[in-house]
Amino acid sequence: MAGSIFGTIFQISTWGESHGKGVGVTVDGCPAGLPLSESDIQQWLDRRKPGQSKFTTQRKEADQAEILSGVFEGKTTGTPIAIMVRNTDQRSRDYSEIASYYRPGHADYTFDRKYGFRDYRGGGRSSGRETIGRVAGGAVAMQLLKAVGIDLFAYTKEIGGIQADPEKFSREAIMENAVYMPDMDEAKKAEEFLEQCMKEQDSAGGIIECVIRNVPAGLGDPVFEKLDAKLAAAVFSIGAVKGFEVGDGFAAARARGSENNDSFCINNIKKTNHAGGILGGISDGSDIVFRAAIKPTPSISAVQETVNRDGEEISISIKGRHDPVIVPRAVVVVEAMAALTMADALLMGMGSRVDMVKEVYSR
């Protein structure tokens, strides 16, 4: 299977299946001398692990990170960093029934068409559990971003049409509610909405917003390696993502040029940020702001119509332990993919000008 490697210089390769012995990641291209410990990675994994609230799957996994290589005496060595998380609470029997049919909204049918075979135990590589490797790799990337002063965070902007109020934005509130919203009032409404979805054996989707601050101007390239294109590819690689926009995004299509253009003032600071921090595919020094649309969880216990592998129409009700909403656990996954993209852009940008190369190698 191709397509499990991401990045050019700062590169990750994820591996493992939902119901295999474990999942993990190999990080290559990370500079030597970066402080890194298992606890640095664990705090990220703890944010995506299951069983944290009634709105997440009750699969009980510690998701304990093990660094197998690439770190010595608390710092990276410049060699590949291997990180593993062992699976301990697989219940493959919950999935034995679906071996004979295709679940609506899942990759069952497309896997069968591409490979003539699929791991039906929780989806195998197409399971959300694959994102553990991304999050572990993103934790390493975040250490690099912190070293140069870049601040990156994401949060739930909307669930089921219930939106956080920008006037009530509180970064502290993000970690103080089960849905990771920066607005406690709307978070409560979102939780009530999700409880109703659960009663109706249904699920919900939403929107995640990510903000990247203190990004130097000049990261990214103007043609096929645009920074916004790289971010879009990174975020779209997350299984549940169905939409992506930067800055004003689709709203820009309804604006006039006089409204959408960002005026520059003294010291090249923009008065507004409709562009979302990226112009011509290159960072402009403003906050980078993007959003990802997350679809409703496809695994629901309500009756759905589908077909089996023999082409017969059947009715199903999916069993097992599933999230009624993917959005809260996906917040840290979006952060991870953004961090990986920005770390790669930093390292790629170092060779864009001869004076920067001279500065690095001058003695």
Q: What is the pLDDT of residues 124-145, one digit of tens each?
A: 677 788 999 999 999 999 999 9
The answer to whether the predicted template modeling score (pTM) of the entire model surpasses 0.85 is yes
The encoded tokens of residue 27 equal 């990080």
So what's the pLDDT on residue 321? Answer: 58
The encoded tokens of residue 177 equal 């509610």
Higher pLDDT, 106 or 153: 153
Looking at residues 22-49, what average pLDDT do you find? 95
Higher pLDDT, 233 or 57: 233
The encoded tokens of residue 206 equal 């939403």
Whether the predicted pLDDT of 43 surpasses 70: yes
So what's the pLDDT on residue 320? Answer: 62
Q: How confident is the model at residue 254 (pLDDT cuts 50, 70, 90)?
A: very high
Report strand pairing: 81-86 vs 65-69: antiparallel
pLDDT tens digits, 187-209:
999 999 999 999 988 999 999 99
Whether the predicted pLDDT of 93 surpasses 70: no
pLDDT tens digits, 291-301:
999 999 888 88
Q: Of 116-130, 216-230, 232-246, 310-324, which range is least confident?
A: 116-130
pLDDT tens digits, 133-189:
999 999 999 999 999 999 999 999 999 999 999 999 999 999 999 999 999 999 999
Whether the predicted pLDDT of 58 surpasses 60: no
Whether the predicted pLDDT of 302 surpasses 90: no
Q: How confident is the model at residue 53 (pLDDT cuts 50, 70, 90)?
A: low
So what's the pLDDT on residue 267? Answer: 79
**Structural domains for the chain:** 5-361 (3.60.150.10)
Higher pLDDT, 21 or 30: 30
**Distance between CA 44 and CA 308 in Å, rounded?**
39
DSSP code, position 212:
E
Query: 188 and 252 in contact (C-beta within 8 Å)?
Result: no
- Residue reference for tokens 């971010």: 231
So what's the pLDDT on residue 299? Answer: 85
3-state secondary structure 233-289: HHHHCCCCEEEEEECCHHHHHHCCHHHHCCCECHHHCECCCCCCCEECCEECCCCEE
Higher pLDDT, 327 or 124: 327
> Mean pLDDT for the chain?
91
Whether the predicted pLDDT of 54 surpasses 70: no
Q: Work out the burial of residue 165: count CB atoms within 10 Å of its CB; fewer than 13 is exposed, 13-18 middle, 19 or more buried.
A: exposed
- Residue reference for tokens 């939403």: 206
Q: How confident is the model at residue 120 (pLDDT cuts 50, 70, 90)?
A: confident
So what's the pLDDT on residue 179? Answer: 95
Residue type, 102: Y
